[in-house]
Structure 1
Amino acid sequence: MEQLQRVGEVARHFRETKLSTLKPPQEFFDHRQLSRPGNMNEATSRITYNTRHFSGNYLLVILILAAYAMLTNPLLLIALAFLAGGFAAINKFAPEPVQVGSQTITQKHLYIGLFVIGLPLLWLASPVSTFFWLVGSSAILILGHACLMEPGPESEYQGVEGV
């Protein structure tokens, strides 16, 4: 019960901090603000400004790409569900050793069995290549968008404070 409350607090904090910075789609996809940067300094300053300005949108892009990667790699989804479900089932249904005939099966034996089946299954699902695909595709989309989007007029005044 306490863990469930902690998960709720983390979700609420995430929603308040990260998702509250979401910009509307009209601003995020404003094609009138697209232009090629003149030089590397301009590209760098655009990337710096836009990654802060659109941080919530970029996080959403990463989450959508991660969901896509999971759905297009069903073996990875099965392997992760098997491992997570196995951990949950062992913790819930087998906290104490169980006597089966002359053998005593402990949690340690069950975890070893889970790893013997789950880790090769996870290895076959190639999570490393999925991770690098996610990193690469996110970087290309986010850096491309941040580099091509001209900062709005409010960026000129971001360092100026009111008198």
Structure 2
Amino acid sequence: KVAVKRLETARQGLKQFMAEVRTIGSIHHRNLVQLQGYGADDHHYYLVYEFVENLSLDKWLFSKIHSHDPKKQQALRWKIRSQIAMDIARGLDYLHGGCKDQVLHLDIKPQNILLDADFGAKICDFGLARLVERSDHEKIFVNTVMRGTPGYMAPEWLHSRVTDKADVYSFGI
């Protein structure tokens, strides 16, 4: 099984689409959703990802979709929640320190965390991600326009300079 993300070509230019393909296609970690392929037609771009069975974390935390099923209501007990947090932290650690180039996700939120059949967490939606070349002698800052989800954005966005700490801030929220 796969999941297909369809993007409007008018809303996302070819440059942004190819940036997402390059970013997600170059990284491989068990706590990151894996890109399987991509394509395009006249009106849409398509990203083909591995299928992740248990939807996004926000559906389990904030939704009533499982209120009719007591077994599923109990699924996110403290032990599973702490494992999800550890999985997200491992994924962010890989993005920030385990890749050839550092990857800043820039939109960490429950909607962008998918849960597999065993409730393992996988970070997804790299639409705002930025690849940053590593430098041992400089602190890494990314100058970019303010984007993301209000409420999950680090205060440093106000100065248009972000570091990997922006992802850590969003994760904490």
TM-score (norm 2): 0.31
* Structure with greater helix share of residues: 1
Q: Return the structure number with greater relative CO, CA threshold 8 A, min gap 6.
A: 1
Larger Rg over CA atoms: 1
